Amino acid sequence: MRAYNILDSPHRRLNLLTGEWVLVSPQRAQRPWLGQVEKVPAESLPAYDPNCYLCPGNKRAGGAQNPHYTSTFVFDNDFAALLPPASGLPTPAATEPGPNLFVAEAEPGICRVVCFSPRHDLNLPELSQSQVEAVVRTWADQSRDLGERDFISYVQVFENKGALMGASNPHPHSQVWASGHIPNEPAKELRAQSEYFHRHQSCLLCDVLAAETRSSERLVVANPHFTALVPFWAVWPFEVLVLSNRHVAALTDLTPSEVTGLADLLRRVTARYDNLFETSFPYSMGFHQAPGDGQAHSEWHLHAHFYPPLLRSATVRKFMVGYEMLAMPQRDLTPETAAERLRVLSDQHYRAARVGEDAGHNYNL
């Protein structure tokens, strides 16, 4: 009887950050696909679009006029999901006596948009190293500014890239939402990291990073300050976890060298994504940093999640439906295979390679 091999047999893996399981079914990887096929997004965008509400000098959807910005540009979201306490919104009424079947609480906050560049047609891997460093510094500045508000407990930096991930505008931008309570996903990770720290007197993600570095099986790319890997418990086909090599809790803790290292790593990861299927690769990406709730968070380790939907090609995506929605997440492609496919790709963006341009200085793995 042959030994059970998780690389070719169905099994489940535990996500240490959330305490939740993911089903891995590698034997299904070769199944035929007769499902939905997406349209390949247009490759050619203008450097400036007079109809884009994020381009310099244009009028935004809410009526405000953008300045003629030349680097990053930040503004309060014109259609914010969260509003500060001074907005005058009434607090939801208290629940009636008896079982709390219908519970509501006021949720104050601030939502901002961060434009990466005045260029309408360039995403992270196509920006220069210095331009991406400016984006990272802006994220840190916004995290600091919003985190100092007395009604804010958590700052979430995130980017939705591509129409498949709900981006309503192709102009390269991200968002920063600061909320009065710690949201669901960071709250799960806070519990997991706290429990691990109290049980082992060490940082969960520091230990994960050390083990992954020794194995190298799921590593994608690294430099002296940051490491990108496909996590053992990945749900999305080409999911990536970015970890700071030094134990830091937030973007605001990064040194200038670490800002440079993070910018370099983001360019290299996103270039590999685009190179995988030679398309502008969609994803949702976000940083999980320590809550700003006034508590010491020695257990928290700065990290970012990349959740891309593409599965087999630029036109076939992974859907979270049926079993995934009703039972647990499931994947066919193993994290080890996904890591290998990303690892062997070039740091140089495929569009730059076509015209012989250099993609910029990168550290070596």
- Any idea where the domains of the chain sit in the sequence? 45-87+106-348
pLDDT in tens, 221-242: 999 999 999 999 999 999 999 9
CA–CA gap between residue 12 and residue 227 (Å, rounded): 25
Q: What is the pLDDT of residue 100?
A: 79
For the whole prediction, is pTM greater than 0.75? yes
Span 69-107, pLDDT tens digits: 999 999 999 999 999 997 555 565 555 666 778 889 899
- Residue given tokens 């990861």 in the structure block: 269
Q: Which of 171, 173, 225, 301 is catalytic?
A: 173
Annotation says 173 is catalytic: yes
What is the spatial distance between Cα 302 and Cα 324, in angstroms, rounded to a whole number? 28
Mean per-residue pLDDT, 191-211 = 98
CATH class of 45-87+106-348: alpha beta
State pLDDT tens for residues 7-29.
778 999 999 999 999 999 987 76
Within the chain, residue ranges assigned H as helices are: 129-147, 184-200, 204-215, 256-277, 323-326, 335-343, 350-354
